[in-house]
């Protein structure tokens, strides 16, 4: 489309001028994901790539906690978020004071924090995880009980997989909490033979209806490996749009739950971000050191 072409051309030129890379989460719209991004992936891949890039500027086409994680791994680089209001219901559900209270109530129990959290919360915790490595991270601790925050459903899903007891926090993803088991059963009736893939931020009774549960990258791999012809992705709906571009042979059944935070990032806001070099993500150094340790421990697992 013409209005996309103009912004895409401008963004590609600005990237060169600024020595910038654009990291795009799997929930970004196709014109961003396929049109201007250099690195694409789930939260784990974006955190890893942020650690490796040679560019001097990183633009996060994703939400604020992802930009903070990229900054943590690159304190000497400029990290930009095209819209500072791109938050996350999980990150907003808990404060550093809440974590200190949980630790006081459960002394000696390790705290595993989902990356969908603020740096202040990460700084209070032992190790981070993403949906792509949650099981490995939790099992690596070798203990019967952990505090797993802030996603209650992710914690319950990992408890079901591992048998490790979870002390949880009532945070939810506003996109994934809306799916219901009845809805999944109805899609199966309407689309016989459909392969159902669910994100572990969904309630456990929804995950129980799925053929597979995993991170956004895990779902993409599953589609590739399984050769499934008809797929229902129980997650944010831009995922299906992006995958449909890569896999025209697969029919995607499309419920549409959009993340309003992810959708704040647009070609126009990315272009403006590169033009003005804003908004720059900053992290107080004393918080950064402790939060980085929790992320680095996760990356080492």
Least CB distance from residue 79 to ligand 13P, whole Å? 17
Nearer to ligand SF4, 47 or 228 (CB): 47
Q: Per-residue b/e over 215-225, b at no fewer than 16 CB within 10 Å? A: bbbbbbebbee
Q: Which member of 124, 152, 236, 241 binds ligand SF4 (CB under 6 A)?
A: 236
For residue 198, what is the enclosing H or E element?
strand 195-198
Per-residue binding string, ligand SF4, 179-218, x by CB under 6 A, is: ----------------------x-----------------
Residues annotated as binding site?
Answer: 25, 43, 88, 114-116, 131, 173, 199-201, 216, 259
With both helix axes pointing from N to C terminus, report the angle between 238-246 and 216-226 in degrees, rounded to the nearest 10.
40
Decide which of ligand SF4, ligand 13P, none touches 281; Cβ closer than 5 to 8 Å per partner kind.
none
The answer to whether 116 contacts ligand SF4 (rule: CB under 6 A) is yes
Judge contact between 241 and 219, C-beta under 8 A: no
Alpha helices by DSSP H, listed for 173-237, are: 181-190, 204-207, 216-226
Least CB distance from residue 241 to ligand SF4, whole Å? 15
The answer to whether 46 contacts ligand SF4 (rule: CB under 6 A) is no
Judge contact between 69 and 42, C-beta under 8 A: no
Least CB distance from residue 91 to ligand SF4, whole Å? 7
For residue 232, what is the enclosing H or E element?
strand 230-234
Whole-angstrom Cα distance, residue 17 to residue 57?
A: 11
Select from 28-36, 88-96, 203-211, 275-283 the region that touches ligand SF4 (CB under 6 A).
88-96
Judge contact between 185 and 193, C-beta under 8 A: no
- The dihedral of CA 256, 26, 136, 151: what is its sign? negative
Decide which of ligand SF4, ligand 13P, none touches 261; Cβ closer than 5 to 8 Å per partner kind.
ligand SF4
Spacing of C-alpha 67 from chain mean position: 11
Least CB distance from residue 259 to ligand 13P, whole Å? 7
Least CB distance from residue 63 to ligand SF4, whole Å? 4
Three-class DSSP category at 212: strand
Q: How many residues bind ligand SF4 (CB under 6 A)?
A: 13
For residue 24, what is the enclosing H or E element?
strand 20-25
Task: Give one DSSP letter per residue of 88-107, joined into a string.
Answer: -TTGGG--HHHHHHHHHHST
List of residues contacting ligand 13P (CB under 6 A)? 26, 42-44, 116, 130-132, 173, 201, 215-216
Residues for the chain: how many in total? 301
The answer to whether 63 contacts ligand SF4 (rule: CB under 6 A) is yes
Decide which of ligand SF4, ligand 13P, none touches 216; Cβ closer than 5 to 8 Å per partner kind.
ligand 13P
The answer to whether 28 contacts ligand SF4 (rule: CB under 6 A) is no
Nearer to ligand SF4, 55 or 240 (CB): 240
Among positions 244-273, residues that touch ligand SF4 (CB under 6 A) are 259, 261-262
Q: Which member of 127, 158, 173, 233 binds ligand SF4 (CB under 6 A)?
A: 173
List Cα–Cα distances, 225 to 228, 247, 262, 290, in angstroms.
8, 12, 27, 38
Nearer to ligand 13P, 35 or 132 (CB): 132
Least CB distance from residue 236 to ligand SF4, whole Å? 5
Three-class DSSP category at 80: strand
């Amino acid at each position: 489309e013409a209005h996309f072409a103009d912004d895409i051309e401008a963004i590609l030129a600005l990237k060169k001028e600024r020595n910038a890379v654009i990291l795009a989460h799997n929930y970004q719209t196709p014109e961003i994901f396929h049109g201007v991004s250099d690195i694409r992936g789930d939260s784990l891949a974006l955190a890893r790539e942020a650690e490796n890039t040679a560019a001097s500027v990183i633009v996060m086409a994703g939400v604020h906690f992802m930009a903070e994680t990229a900054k943590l791994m690159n304190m000497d680089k400029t990290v930009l978020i095209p819209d500072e209001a791109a938050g996350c219901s999980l990150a907003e559900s808990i404060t550093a004071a809440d974590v200190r209270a949980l630790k006081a109530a459960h002394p000696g129990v390790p705290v595993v924090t989902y990356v969908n959290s603020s740096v202040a919360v990460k700084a209070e915790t032992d190790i981070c995880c993403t949906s792509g490595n949650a099981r490995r991270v939790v099992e690596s601790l070798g203990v019967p009980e952990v505090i797993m925050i802030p996603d209650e459903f992710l914690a319950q899903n990992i408890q079901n997989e591992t048998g490790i007891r979870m002390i949880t926090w009532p945070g939810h993803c506003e996109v994934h909490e809306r799916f219901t088991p009845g809805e999944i059963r109805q899609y199966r009736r309407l689309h016989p033979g459909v392969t159902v893939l669910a994100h572990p931020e969904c309630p456990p009774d929804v995950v129980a209806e799925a053929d597979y549960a995993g991170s956004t990258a895990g779902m993409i791999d599953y589609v590739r490996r399984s050769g499934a012809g008809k797929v229902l992705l129980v997650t944010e709906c831009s995922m299906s749009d992006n995958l449909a571009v890569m896999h025209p042979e697969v029919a995607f059944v499309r419920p549409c739950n959009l993340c309003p935070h992810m959708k704040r990032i647009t070609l126009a806001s990315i272009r403006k971000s590169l033009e003005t070099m804003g908004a720059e993500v900053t992290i107080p150094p004393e918080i950064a050191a402790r939060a980085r340790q929790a992320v680095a421990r996760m990356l080492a697992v």
